[in-house]
Copies of this chain bind each other. A is one copy, B any other.
């Protein structure tokens, strides 16, 4: 075999127009991307001081909503974030002083406690339990969308210290902000531009291309397609797109939600098994309520394993250097068997 020197390649993210440097000269094999996680080994099923463990409910703020499990105990519950970034009380008021803009920080900041078991993580949960978490997201998303003070909702999960979590117990969060961020507006604008030019949703178009080419596919299901994006900024960034055109997560159907539970669990299980339980974030990206029905935007869920560090070049240019080609990452993840993890989960059930 002749070892061939690859010239690096710049690829443009069609949705943000940002360029990513695929530095294949520095390329690592996917297995090399495993990162030793900070902290501890296996977690206990129950921690006496954990505000999210069953029996300690008084340590968290009063419950907003709960979903019951088969045993009539809670399976998933929502509480306001005790250290909320935004205040639930008051009305947002713009203060404008020359080029300075301020708004008082009014909004909703919830914590979704995903399971009573302190030791579990989504990859190890049964599909039914993941479905309950997603149902909870959807219910809260729809309820908070009715709040006139909230302009945009972000649902996200931080798993592990490098992903920014401060509590071990499996949980995710929802923040409803009184503004639509500039970053979200920019994506809406680019998608609208594409629609104006080509008369199509650019996400639908991309999904069709990726299905035809298949080299960046991780898995597909009846309603979803899981892809390593063409211009992936970081190794193993994995995106779950609904096949049906839909701008807002709030309009997802029951059948889609049930399917998504399996797809999300399998995706996270492949990362768990293939990269040794990496720290990760996931985020549901959706059109804001004010443009929920538009033809040009498409909701999705992105999973970002935190395997690398952002350095000065990325901070100072907005461009990323990625050392793992998405085609390689997809091929690696396709090869990972994720089924057996659901068996291992049986040992982890709360007792």
Chain A positions near chain B (C-beta within 8 angstroms):
7-12, 14, 16-19, 21-23, 25-26, 83-87, 90, 98-106, 152, 154, 156-158, 161-165, 173, 175, 177-179, 181-184, 186, 194, 202, 205-206, 209, 230, 281-285, 302, 304, 308-319, 321
Contacts and interface: CB of A to CB of B under 8 A. Distances in A.
A317 B183 contact: yes
A26 B100 contact: no
A8 B312 contact: no
Secondary structure at the A interface, as helix, strand, loop or mixed, is mixed
Contact of A281 (B16, B183, B311): B311
Given A21-B105, A85-B321, A318-B183, A312 B99 contact: no
Contacts of A104: 7-10
Contact of A7 (B105, B154, B321): B105
Determine which residue in A11, A12, A152, A302 has the highest number of CB atoms from chain B within 10 A of its CB, and name it: A12
Contact of A164 (B90, B309, B317): B309
Nearest to A311: B164
B158 A311 contact: yes
A12 B178 CA distance: 13
A304 B313 CA distance: 12
A318 B21 contact: no
Contacts of A85: 8, 21, 23, 26, 313, 321
